[in-house]
Structure 1
Amino acid sequence: MSDLQARFEQATTDVKALSERPSNMTLLRLYALYKQGSEGDAHGDKPGMTDFVGRYKFEAWESLKGTAKDEAMQKYIDLVEELRSGAVS
């Protein structure tokens, strides 16, 4: 396992232990970066118009199309660190 992969997995654990819940926009960003870092470009069918949450999540992930997995993992790690330090909410 690479160092980046290990830090990414640690960040996925750390994000669950945040003292405050991040804003919805930050949660969407976390979700998109996690999916891009772990699965790559968005795939599958876009959720329907009545599935608002699913649609927003898919669109956030889809917006990162073409971003390398390593880059997405590093951005996820950086965002989690900012949240842990209180720099972002």
Structure 2
Amino acid sequence: MASEAFKDAQERVNQLPAKPSNDHLLQLYALFKQASVGDVTTERPGGFDFKGNAKWDAWKKIEGTSASDAEAQYVSLVNELEG
């Protein structure tokens, strides 16, 4: 079950003062997926799906992170990006 802080951060991420860098966007995606789904279980996308590959790789990199740790890291990153 998602924490209130995680739910709040999901809403605040859409109102950031500046668009996050691609690295931050990938990190946010990976942490969100890890917190809400768990470890990646799908096949890596095909070779020409560069965006899909980047997202899959970012998620795969944090494999094994618990949902609560991923939530906490997501909230921390959103707080950091708010400045």
TM-score interval (norm. to shorter): over 0.9
| Number of residue equivalences | 83
Within-5 A mapping of 1:5-84: 5-84=3-82
TM-score (norm 2): 0.95
CA offsets 1:33-56 (integer angstroms, 9 cap, x no match): 110011110111211110000000
The alignment's C-alpha RMSD in Å is: 1.1
Gaps of 5+ in 1: none
After TM superposition, the score normalised by the length of structure 1 is: 0.89
| Secondary structure class of the residue paired with 1:60 | helix
Q: Secondary structure at the match of 1:16?
A: helix
5+ residue gaps, structure 2? none
Deviation beyond 3 Å, 4+ runs, structure 1 = none
